[in-house]
Copies of this chain bind each other. A is one copy, B any other.
C-alpha cells in the first residue's frame, strides 16, 4: 500500500475515483454506472524490511547450523536424554508422514503436519516437570511424544474412534491428555494463552510449585488473548512461560504482514516481562531457553516470552496448498532440517550411527503401524456420546433428544461420502 499523492479528499471530490454514493445513501439497484477503466494492480509485499528473515545470527544457539557444538556452549544433558530427544524428533517426523499419507488416502479426515518444527517441540518439552501444566498448540505432536503420551492415543484421536480420549468430538490433532497435564486443544486461535495465565495464577494460589506453559504461533500473537494473557501474567507475575513458535507463516500470511514489531520476542516489553529469541531449529538452544524460563517462573521471578524461530516447511494443513501463495521463495529455510542438524551433532559427539538410525526408523515405524491398525479397526464412539459430557449429568431435555434419536435412527441414513474438510 502506498499513500496517494493527490490532494483529493475522498469524501468531498466529485470526479476522480468512482464512489457509488455518499455515506449512508445507497444507489438504487437498477441505476446505471460507467464501466471501469482497466486498472494496473500492484501486488507487492509490505515494503518494510523483514528483520527476521534469512539470518539466524542474532538468535540464541547451542549447535551450529552444520551440527557442531558452538564454542563454550554445553547441553548439560545426559546421553540418554539427548538420544531420547532425538528419538522423539524422528518419531514426530515419521508420524507426520504417515498421517498425511492416511489423510491423502481418505483414511483420516484431516491432519496438521509439523515437519521442520521438531526441535522447537521436543526441546521445550524436556524443560517441564510432571507437575507442570501445558496448553499446547495444534502443531506440537513432538511435545506430546517427548512428554510421554502413548502414540496410540494420538492415533486414536486422528481416527476419532471410541479410544480417542475426546470421543471423536473434535477434528484430528485437537488432543487433550489429562494424565500428562496437557489441556484440551481447541481450534480458535489464542484463547488458550490467557487460560494458561489463569492456570499459572491458580498454581500460585494453591501453593503448587508447578508452572504453566503455553504454545502458539506467530499468527497467535495477534489474537486478543495473547494481549489479555500476557498483560495479566505480567501484572500478577504468574508462573507462566509463553512460547511463540514463529514458523514465519499463518496459513498464507507471512510474518511481516502479521506485525510490524522488530521481532515477536520484543512484544514482551509491552507487558513488563523478558522476551528471548531462540533458534527454533536448534533443539538444545530451545531446551536451554525454555529451561531457564521455567526455572525463573518456578522461582517466583515471573513470566517470560520465548520466540522460537523456525519454519513451516509443509502446508498449513492437509487442506492447504502453499504453492498458491509462497511459490518457491522459501528455499533457504526448506533446507534447514532440525533433525539432520541434531543428528550431525550426535554423530560428531560419537553418540549416533547409521546403524542406530536405521534400527530406530524400523522400530518407530512398526509402532506407528501397529497403532494405526488398532485405531482403524476400533469402533466409532457410541451414539450416546453425542449427549454425554455436555454437563456432568445428562439433563432431561438431552435425554429426550437422545431417546428420540434412537427411535428415529435405523431409517437408513448414512454418512455423506463426499464430506471432506476443505481446510
Cβ < 8 Å to B, chain A residues 59-95 = none
List of B residues within 8 angstroms of A260 by Cβ: 231, 234-235, 237, 271-273
Tell which of B46, B207, B227 touches A224, judged by Cβ atoms closer than 8 Å. Answer: B227
Are the CB atoms of B222 and A1 closer together than 8 Å? Answer: no
Are the CB atoms of A259 and B236 closer together than 8 Å? Answer: no
A234-270 vs B, Cβ < 8 Å mask (1 yes, 0 no) = 1111010000000000000000111111100011011
Tell which of B46, B207, B231, B266 touches A17, judged by Cβ atoms closer than 8 Å. Answer: B207
Tell which of B16, B131, B224, B237 touches A1, judged by Cβ atoms closer than 8 Å. Answer: B237
Give the complex CA separation of A11 and B205 in angstroms.
Answer: 11
List of B residues within 8 angstroms of A261 by Cβ: 234, 269-272
Judged by a CB distance under 8 angstroms, whether A7 is at the interface is yes
Tell which of B205, B227, B262, B267 touches A226, judged by Cβ atoms closer than 8 Å. Answer: B227
Tell which of B203, B207, B272 touches A6, judged by Cβ atoms closer than 8 Å. Answer: B207
Are the CB atoms of B227 and A7 closer together than 8 Å? Answer: no
Are the CB atoms of B272 and A262 closer together than 8 Å? Answer: yes
Cβ < 8 Å to B, chain A residues 370-402 = 392
List of B residues within 8 angstroms of A101 by Cβ: none
Give the complex CA separation of A222 and B26 in angstroms.
Answer: 37
Judged by a CB distance under 8 angstroms, whether A208 is at the interface is yes
Give the complex CA separation of A418 and B267 in angstroms.
Answer: 49
List of B residues within 8 angstroms of A228 by Cβ: 222, 224
**Residue on B nearest A236 in the bound complex, by CB:** B1
Cβ < 8 Å to B, chain A residues 334-356 = none
Judged by a CB distance under 8 angstroms, whether A148 is at the interface is no
List of B residues within 8 angstroms of A6 by Cβ: 207
Pick from A17, A202, A267, A392 the residue with the most CB of B within 10 Å. Answer: A267
Are the CB atoms of B4 and A207 closer together than 8 Å? Answer: yes
Give the complex CA separation of A259 and B16 in angstroms.
Answer: 47
Are the CB atoms of A235 and B206 closer together than 8 Å? Answer: no
Tell which of B9, B222, B259, B300 touches A131, judged by Cβ atoms closer than 8 Å. Answer: B9
Cβ < 8 Å to B, chain A residues 201-222 = 202-210, 222
List of B residues within 8 angstroms of A1 by Cβ: 204, 236-237
List of B residues within 8 angstroms of A8 by Cβ: 206-208
A209, chain B: closest CB distance, angstroms: 6
A136, chain B: closest CB distance, angstroms: 19
Give the complex CA separation of A243 and B6 in angstroms.
Answer: 27
Judged by a CB distance under 8 angstroms, whether A10 is at the interface is yes
Are the CB atoms of A231 and B224 closer together than 8 Å? Answer: no
Pick from A16, A203, A206 the residue with the most CB of B within 10 Å. Answer: A206
Are the CB atoms of A207 and B10 closer together than 8 Å? Answer: yes
Judged by a CB distance under 8 angstroms, whether A24 is at the interface is yes
Are the CB atoms of B234 and A3 closer together than 8 Å? Answer: no
List of B residues within 8 angstroms of A19 by Cβ: 206
Pick from A209, A260, A267 the residue with the most CB of B within 10 Å. Answer: A260
List of B residues within 8 angstroms of A206 by Cβ: 8-11, 17, 19
List of B residues within 8 angstroms of A235 by Cβ: 46, 256-260
Cβ < 8 Å to B, chain A residues 78-129 = none
Residues of A that sit less than 8 Å from B by CB? 1-4, 6-11, 16-17, 19, 24, 26, 46, 48, 131, 202-210, 222, 224, 226-228, 231, 234-237, 239, 256-262, 266-267, 269-273, 300, 392
17 A-B pairs, CB-CB below 8 angstroms? A1-B204, A1-B236, A8-B208, A9-B207, A9-B210, A11-B208, A17-B207, A24-B392, A46-B235, A224-B224, A224-B227, A227-B227, A235-B259, A260-B273, A262-B269, A266-B269, A266-B270
Top 6 closest pairs, chain A to chain B, by CB = A10-B206, A260-B272, A4-B207, A234-B260, A227-B227, A224-B224
